[in-house]
């Protein structure tokens, strides 16, 4: 991908990776925890080869110039507002939207509340927020897989846990699917003063109103992997109930949670199939 450049919104400055032709089909890529826009590098290279213009921000808390203090600054409306500001900054009326993990949460919320700005949606790992909320209530396996969230919401304890001993636990999360250079980059980013707390503030700002997320009305592809340690099958299979548009459910057997790095070709095929929608 191209070098990182700045984009300003609401008195915050975001680091944004941009690549591809200026007149290319615009696609916005939203990363998850605990990564940055670098996680999209394999996907972005393939998209650029296919004529897309790729825009991938380091989201709120991950960009040093967009790191406000306090969980109240990391609510879903704030996070989706950042993406709307990014679209405006790049003078885009609409764009294809791809999100992974927490980036998928933002993508679902944005597509649900602002379908006029989204051409198509491709969500990785996390299903529609209402499907995920249902699974957290009704599926024991999903509750077990999400038990880490309680720890991440504990200020101070989570930071110490993830960064202690050379960020050993943070590094172990990625093994063996993500390369060491990328992991070193993520560790360095989140080891900066206040960065890990800002990233964890996404969890600390979570509310219990997932079920209130409206259904999606834009063409949507949801990609789930059977080796995902965080997302169980029940919510994944129910995702389509909350899409009132053309919908495709893609299952990647044996792939881990880190879909952008481990299965970039599958991601790009999904996005490219949607380009005609």
Reported as a single tens digit per residue, the pLDDT across 102-128 is 999 999 999 999 999 999 999 999 999
Alpha-helical (H) ranges within the chain are: 41-49, 76-89, 102-113, 129-138, 140-145, 148-152, 157-174, 180-191, 195-204, 233-238, 259-262, 264-274
Task: Give the three-state DSSP class for 119.
Answer: strand
Reported as a single tens digit per residue, the pLDDT across 42-101 is 999 999 999 999 999 999 999 999 999 999 999 999 999 999 999 999 999 999 999 999
Per-residue pLDDT at 277 exceeds 90: no
Residue carrying the six token digits 């944004």: 16
Q: CB neighbours (10 Å) of residue 39?
A: 26
Q: Which domains does the chain have, with CATH numbers?
A: 4-141+214-274 (3.40.50.1820)
> Checking DSSP bridges between strand 247-256 and strand 220-227, what pairing results, if any?
parallel
168, two tokens:
């050993």
Residue 15, CB half-sphere, CA atoms under 13 Å: how many?
Answer: 15
pTM of the model: 0.97
Task: Give the three-state DSSP class for 112.
Answer: helix
pLDDT score at 4: 66
Q: What order of strands is seen across the sheet that includes strand 95-100?
A: 4-9, 12-19, 52-57, 25-30, 95-100, 118-124, 220-227, 247-256
Among candidates 204, 213, 222, which has minimal Cα distance to 129?
Answer: 213
Q: CB neighbours (10 Å) of residue 184?
A: 12
Helix (H) and strand (E) counts in the chain: 12, 8
Reported as a single tens digit per residue, the pLDDT across 209-224 is 888 999 999 999 999 9
Q: Report the chain's mean pLDDT, rounded to a whole number.
A: 95
């Amino acid at each position: 991908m191209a070098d990182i450049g700045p984009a300003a919104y609401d008195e915050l400055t975001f680091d944004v990776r941009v690549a591809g032709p200026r007149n290319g089909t615009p696609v916005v890529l939203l990363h998850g925890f605990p990564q940055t826009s670098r996680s999209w590098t394999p996907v972005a290279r393939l998209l650029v080869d296919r004529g897309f213009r790729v825009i991938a921000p380091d989201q709120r808390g991950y960009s040093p110039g967009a790191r406000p203090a306090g969980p109240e600054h990391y609510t879903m409306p704030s996070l989706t507002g950042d993406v709307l500001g990014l679209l405006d900054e790049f003078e885009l009326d609409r764009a294809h939207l791809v999100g992974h993990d927490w980036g998928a949460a933002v993508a679902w919320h944005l597509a649900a509340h602002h379908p006029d700005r989204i051409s198509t949606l491709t969500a990785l790992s996390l299903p529609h927020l209402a499907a995920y909320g249902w699974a957290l209530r009704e599926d024991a396996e999903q509750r077990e897989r999400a038990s880490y969230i309680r720890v991440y919401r504990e200020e101070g304890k989570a930071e110490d846990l993830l960064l202690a001993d050379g960020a050993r636990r943070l590094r172990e999360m990625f093994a063996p699917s993500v390369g060491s250079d990328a992991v070193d980059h993520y560790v360095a980013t989140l080891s900066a003063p206040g960065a890990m707390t800002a990233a964890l503030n996404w969890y600390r700002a979570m509310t219990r109103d997932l079920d209130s997320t409206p259904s999606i009305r834009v063409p949507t592809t949801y990609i789930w992997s059977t080796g995902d340690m965080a997302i169980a099958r029940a919510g994944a299979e129910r995702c389509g109930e909350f899409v009132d548009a053309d919908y495709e459910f893609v299952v990647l057997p044996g792939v881990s949670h880190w879909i952008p790095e481990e299965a970039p070709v599958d991601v790009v095929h999904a996005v490219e199939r949607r380009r005609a929608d």
